Chain A
Amino acid sequence: MTRVQITVDGEQTEQEVEARLLLVHYLRDVLGKTGTNVGCDTSNCGACTVHLDGRSVKSCTVLAVQADGSEVATVEGLAERPDDESGWHPLQKAFHTEHGLQCGYCTPGMIMAAADLLSENPDPDEHEVRHGLEGNLCRCTGYVNIVKAVQTAAAEMRGDKVEVDA
Chain B
Amino acid sequence: MTALDNPPTKNVGVTRLRKEDAHLVTGRTNYTDSIQVTGLLHLAFVRSPMAHAKVARVDVSAALEQPGVVAAFTGADLADNWAAGLPCAWPVTEDMASPTHLPIATDEVRYVGDAVAVVVARTKYQAADAIEFVEVDYEPLPAVVDMEAALAEGSPLADTTSASNKSFTWQKIDGEIDDAFAGAAHVTTRRFLQQRLIPTAIEPRSVVCAPPREHNEYTLWSATQVPHILRLMLALTCGVPEHELRVIAPDVGGGFGSKLNVYAEEAVALVLARKLGKPVKWTETRSEGNQATIHGRDQIQDLSIAFNEDHTIRGLKVELHADMGAYLQLVTPGVPILGAFMFNAIYKMDALSFTCHGVFTNKTPTDAYRGAGRPEATYAIERLMDEAAHELGVEPFELREKNWIKHEEFPYMTIAGIEYDSGNYEAATAKAKELFDYDGLRAEQQRRRDAGDSVQLGLGISTFTEMCGLAPSRVLGSLSYGAGGWEHASVRMLPSGKVEVVTGTSPHGQGHVTSWSQIAADALGVAYEDVEVRHGDTSVAHKGMDTYGSRSLVVGGYAVQVACDKVIAKARKVAAHLLEASEDDIEFDSGTFSVKGSPDARTTIQDISLAVFAAHDYPEDMEPSLDSDATVDPENFSYPHGTHLCAVEVDTETGHVEILRYVAVDDIGKVINPQIVEGQVHGGLAQGIAQALYEEAIYDEDGQLKTGSLLDYYVPGAPDLPHFITDRTETPATSNPLGVKGVGEAGTIASTPAVINAVVDALRPMGVNDIRMPASPQNVWNAMQAAKANGGDA
A142 touches B682 (CB 8 A): yes
Residues of chain B with a CB closer than 8 A to A118's CB: none
Residues of chain B with a CB closer than 8 A to A72's CB: none
A78–B25 Cα distance when bound, in Å, is 10
B246-292 with Cβ < 8 A to chain A:
251-254, 256, 285-287
A141–B25 Cα distance when bound, in Å, is 15
User: Does A162 have its Cβ within 8 Å of any Cβ on chain B?
Assistant: no
Residues of chain B with a CB closer than 8 A to A146's CB: 718
B25 touches A142 (CB 8 A): no
- Some 26 contacts from A to B, beta carbons below 8 A apart, are A38-B33, A41-B286, A45-B202, A97-B17, A99-B17, A99-B679, A102-B679, A103-B201, A103-B254, A104-B509, A105-B31, A105-B201, A105-B202, A105-B254, A107-B24, A111-B25, A130-B718, A131-B718, A131-B719, A135-B717, A136-B717, A138-B718, A139-B256, A144-B682, A145-B679, A147-B718
Residues of chain B with a CB closer than 8 A to A130's CB: 717-719
Residues of chain A with a CB closer than 8 A to B21's CB: 95-96, 101, 104
Task: Pick the residue among B24, B125, B679, B711 that contacts A141 (CB under 8 A).
Answer: B679
A101–B253 Cα distance when bound, in Å, is 11
| Contact (A92, B285) CB under 8 Å given A37-B203, A103-B202, A144-B682 | no
A104–B534 Cα distance when bound, in Å, is 18
Residues of chain A with a CB closer than 8 A to B253's CB: 37, 103-105
**1/0 per position for A67-111, CB-CB distance to B under 8 A?**
000000011101100110100100010011101011111111001
Residues of chain B with a CB closer than 8 A to A39's CB: 202-204, 286
User: Does B511 have its Cβ within 8 Å of any Cβ on chain A?
Assistant: yes
A110-162 with Cβ < 8 A to chain B:
111, 126, 129-131, 133-147
| Contact (A143, B718) CB under 8 Å given A41-B285, A104-B251, A137-B202 | yes
Sort chain A's interface into a size bin. 35 or more
Residues of chain A with a CB closer than 8 A to B372's CB: none
User: Does B583 have its Cβ within 8 Å of any Cβ on chain A?
Assistant: no
User: Does A4 have its Cβ within 8 Å of any Cβ on chain B?
Assistant: no
Task: Pick the residue among B125, B254, B724 that contacts A144 (CB under 8 A).
Answer: B724
A18 touches B254 (CB 8 A): no
Among B18, B24, B687: residue with most chain A CB under 10 A: B24
Say whether chain A's binding surface is mostly helix, strand, loop, or mixed.
loop
Closest B residue to A129 by beta carbon equals B718
B26 touches A139 (CB 8 A): no
User: Does A12 have its Cβ within 8 Å of any Cβ on chain B?
Assistant: no
A74 touches B27 (CB 8 A): yes
Closest A residue to B14 by beta carbon equals A166
Nearest CB in chain B: distance from A126 CB, A: 7
User: Does A65 have its Cβ within 8 Å of any Cβ on chain B?
Assistant: no
Closest B residue to A101 by beta carbon equals B24
Closest B residue to A108 by beta carbon equals B27
B711 touches A42 (CB 8 A): yes
Residues of chain A with a CB closer than 8 A to B679's CB: 99, 102, 140-142, 145
Residues of chain B with a CB closer than 8 A to A79's CB: 26
> Closest 4 A-B residue pairs measured CB to CB?
A35-B27, A105-B253, A104-B24, A103-B509
User: Does A23 have its Cβ within 8 Å of any Cβ on chain B?
Assistant: no
B311-369 with Cβ < 8 A to chain A:
none
A124–B711 Cα distance when bound, in Å, is 28
Among B21, B27, B34: residue with most chain A CB under 10 A: B27
User: Does B163 have its Cβ within 8 Å of any Cβ on chain A?
Assistant: no
Closest B residue to A34 by beta carbon equals B34
B718 touches A45 (CB 8 A): no
| Contact (A141, B27) CB under 8 Å given A39-B203, A106-B202, A134-B717 | no
A28–B203 Cα distance when bound, in Å, is 15
User: Does A47 have its Cβ within 8 Å of any Cβ on chain B?
Assistant: yes
A124–B724 Cα distance when bound, in Å, is 19
B186-214 with Cβ < 8 A to chain A:
200-204
| Contact (A96, B717) CB under 8 Å given A102-B511, A142-B685 | no
User: Does A36 have its Cβ within 8 Å of any Cβ on chain B?
Assistant: yes
Task: Pick the residue among B200, B718, B747 that contacts A134 (CB under 8 A).
Answer: B718
A137 touches B715 (CB 8 A): yes
A40 touches B286 (CB 8 A): yes
| Contact (A105, B203) CB under 8 Å given A40-B286, A133-B717, A134-B718 | yes
User: Does B678 have its Cβ within 8 Å of any Cβ on chain A?
Assistant: yes
Nearest CB in chain A: distance from B740 CB, A: 18
Residues of chain A with a CB closer than 8 A to B27's CB: 33-36, 74-76, 78, 82, 108
User: Does B686 have its Cβ within 8 Å of any Cβ on chain A?
Assistant: yes
Residues of chain A with a CB closer than 8 A to B33's CB: 28, 34, 38
A41–B709 Cα distance when bound, in Å, is 8
Residues of chain B with a CB closer than 8 A to A75's CB: 25-27
Sort chain B's interface into a size bin. 35 or more
Residues of chain B with a CB closer than 8 A to A104's CB: 20-21, 24-25, 29, 251, 253, 509
A41–B686 Cα distance when bound, in Å, is 23
A40 touches B710 (CB 8 A): yes
| Contact (A99, B717) CB under 8 Å given A39-B286, A75-B27 | no
Seen from chain A, the residues whose Cβ lies within 8 Å of a Cβ on chain B are 18, 20-21, 28-29, 32-42, 44-45, 47, 74-76, 78-79, 82-83, 85, 88, 92, 95-97, 99, 101-108, 111, 126, 129-131, 133-147, 165-166
Closest A residue to B251 by beta carbon equals A104
Closest B residue to A39 by beta carbon equals B202
A82–B682 Cα distance when bound, in Å, is 28
Residues of chain A with a CB closer than 8 A to B28's CB: 35, 76, 82
A38–B682 Cα distance when bound, in Å, is 24
Closest A residue to B223 by beta carbon equals A105
Task: Pick the residue among B17, B34, B124, B509 that contacts A102 (CB under 8 A).
Answer: B509
User: Does B49 have its Cβ within 8 Å of any Cβ on chain A?
Assistant: no
User: Does B510 have its Cβ within 8 Å of any Cβ on chain A?
Assistant: yes
Nearest CB in chain A: distance from B405 CB, A: 29
A143 touches B203 (CB 8 A): no
**1/0 per position for B510-548, CB-CB distance to A under 8 A?**
110000000000000000000000000000000000000
Task: Pick the residue among B26, B125, B715, B724 that contacts A142 (CB under 8 A).
Answer: B724
Residues of chain A with a CB closer than 8 A to B675's CB: 99, 166
B29 touches A141 (CB 8 A): no
User: Does B36 have its Cβ within 8 Å of any Cβ on chain A?
Assistant: yes
B18 touches A99 (CB 8 A): yes
B724 touches A140 (CB 8 A): no
Residues of chain B with a CB closer than 8 A to A32's CB: 36
**1/0 per position for B714-734, CB-CB distance to A under 8 A?**
010111010110000000000
B719 touches A85 (CB 8 A): no
Residues of chain A with a CB closer than 8 A to B287's CB: 41-42
B28-46 with Cβ < 8 A to chain A:
28-29, 31, 33-34, 36
User: Does B508 have its Cβ within 8 Å of any Cβ on chain A?
Assistant: yes
**1/0 per position for B667-691, CB-CB distance to A under 8 A?**
0000000011011001111110000
Residues of chain A with a CB closer than 8 A to B36's CB: 32
Question: Apart from A37-B253, A103-B509, what are 9 other A-B pairs with CB-CB below 8 Å?
Answer: A35-B26, A35-B29, A96-B25, A102-B679, A104-B24, A108-B27, A133-B718, A141-B683, A143-B721
A96 touches B18 (CB 8 A): yes
A29–B35 Cα distance when bound, in Å, is 10
Closest A residue to B24 by beta carbon equals A104
A126–B723 Cα distance when bound, in Å, is 9
Residues of chain A with a CB closer than 8 A to B511's CB: 102
User: Does B15 have its Cβ within 8 Å of any Cβ on chain A?
Assistant: yes
Among A42, A82, A83: residue with most chain B CB under 10 A: A42
Among A38, A95, A146: residue with most chain B CB under 10 A: A38
Residues of chain B with a CB closer than 8 A to A18's CB: 125
A29–B36 Cα distance when bound, in Å, is 9
User: Does B22 have its Cβ within 8 Å of any Cβ on chain A?
Assistant: yes
A79–B508 Cα distance when bound, in Å, is 24
Closest B residue to A104 by beta carbon equals B24
A36–B27 Cα distance when bound, in Å, is 7
A104–B719 Cα distance when bound, in Å, is 20
Nearest CB in chain B: distance from A153 CB, A: 11
